[in-house]
Amino acid sequence: MDSHAIPRLDIDADNIRRRLLPHCRLKAGETWRDPDGNHSVSCADAGCTGFIEGLFAGRPAVLAIHDPPYNLVMFERQSVDEYIDWCRTWVSNTHSVLDDDAALYIWLGADQADNFQPLPQFMLMMAGTPFKARSFITVRNQRGYGTQKNWMAVRQELLYYSKGSPPFEVQYTDIPKILRGYYKEVNGTLTENLERGKSPNIRPGNVWMDIQQVFYRMEENVNGCYAQKPLKAIERIITASSKPGDLITDFFAHSGTTLLACERSGRCCVTLDIDPIFAEITIRRLEHYRATGKTGWQAGNPFQKELTPTPSPAAH
């Protein structure tokens, strides 16, 4: 198989960032508007209140799905307190651009080697905001990291909050119910759970075991992106907490998963990333999907055209 992988773009092997930046359409503070009129992608800081509010001008979002950075690179630069202060700002920006009845989902890690930070501090910070805590979801990864001396770390934390009373539509997995039982009398007839249920399949509940994390053999893989979330997880959130035509936002676009999920489900998306390379990848992922129907590049990459050297005439 031809592989055109590029390295993690946050680590910048081979000066890759210097080579890619000239091919990025957006500079800090600029916005790309979808020619089809459905979405926008900005290169901006999630903490920049005036800029963010301007993006929504009169049209609030009904759902925000945020996946902020929380890795070690981040913590080499700032303390947990500084990180939480920064989170407070973008959470407040989110509150201002959300409708009176809206949902907020936040992916957040917990460093088990360092008192599980920043998850507990983040949860306490959220308790001081107008958002109401609704659910603490765990998504189980297939691959994990760890040693023989500890439990392998395979979980991703996903926090669900609400503002007002947003609608919520129950979701089902592809896993059939197999257990019969839980007998109950309904209108004088003894029924069991399979007869009473709304679906022959089980609900994901707040532990999602049925979603494959993204890896290089999947079509949706975007090489260079080190923190890509599975489309299936984002689509589940979108279907549960929004309706076709609704506006959804994501302040940390990266590989553009939320934007693509919105495109595929008939929602509109306002998204941004502070890094012009990830803002460009987000736009390209949408364009690539519209041109080919493919959700990612699998073994290729979004900058394949620019990075593939043109053969010199002497080579022929």
Ligand X SMILES: C[S@@+](CC[C@H](N)C(=O)[O-])C[C@H]1O[C@@H](n2cnc3c(N)ncnc32)[C@H](O)[C@@H]1O
C-alpha–C-alpha distance, residues 276 and 254, integer Å? 10
Going residue by residue from 66 to 105, which x/- string records binding to ligand X, judged by CB under 6 A? -x-x------------------------------------
User: Cβ closer to ligand X: 45 or 246?
Assistant: 45
Q: Which residues face 268 on adjacent strands? A: 247
Taking CB under 6 A as the rule, does residue 257 contact ligand X?
A: yes
The angle that helices 231-241 and 257-265 make with each other, rounded to 10 degrees, is: 50
CA-CA-CA-CA torsion sign (316, 14, 296, 32): negative
User: Cβ closer to ligand X: 23 or 177?
Assistant: 23
Going residue by residue from 214 to 253, which x/- string records binding to ligand X, judged by CB under 6 A? -----------x-xxx---------------------xx-
User: Cβ closer to ligand X: 29 or 167?
Assistant: 29
User: Cβ closer to ligand X: 172 or 226?
Assistant: 226
Regarding beta strands 184-186 and 98-108, do their DSSP bridges make them parallel or antiparallel, or are they unpaired?
Answer: unpaired
Q: How far is the CB of 53 from ligand X (least distance, A)?
A: 15
User: Cβ closer to ligand X: 13 or 170?
Assistant: 13
What is the size of the binding site for ligand X (CB under 6 A)? 19
User: Cβ closer to ligand X: 161 or 252?
Assistant: 252
Taking CB under 6 A as the rule, does residue 255 contact ligand X?
A: yes
Q: What is the dihedral of CA 129, 131, 132, 136, to 10 degrees?
A: -100
3-state helix, strand, coil in the chain (%, to 5): 30, 25, 45
Taking CB under 6 A as the rule, does residue 47 contact ligand X?
A: yes
Q: How far is the CB of 270 from ligand X (least distance, A)?
A: 13
CA distances (Å), origin 208, targets 37, 73, 201, 261:
34, 28, 14, 18
Q: What is the dihedral of CA 283, 284, 287, 289, to 10 degrees?
A: -110
CA distances (Å), origin 134, targets 19, 108, 124:
44, 15, 14
Going residue by residue from 5 to 34, which x/- string records binding to ligand X, judged by CB under 6 A? ------------------------------
Subset of 264-283 contacting ligand X (CB under 6 A): 272-275, 278
Subset of 162-221 contacting ligand X (CB under 6 A): none
Q: How far is the CB of 230 from ligand X (least distance, A)?
A: 8
Find the helix or strand (DSSP H, E) in which 107 lies.
Answer: strand 98-108
Burial (0-12, 13-18, 19+ Cβ within 10 Å), 284? buried
Contact residues for ligand X, defined by CB under 6 A: 45-47, 67, 69, 225, 227-229, 251-252, 254-255, 257, 272-275, 278
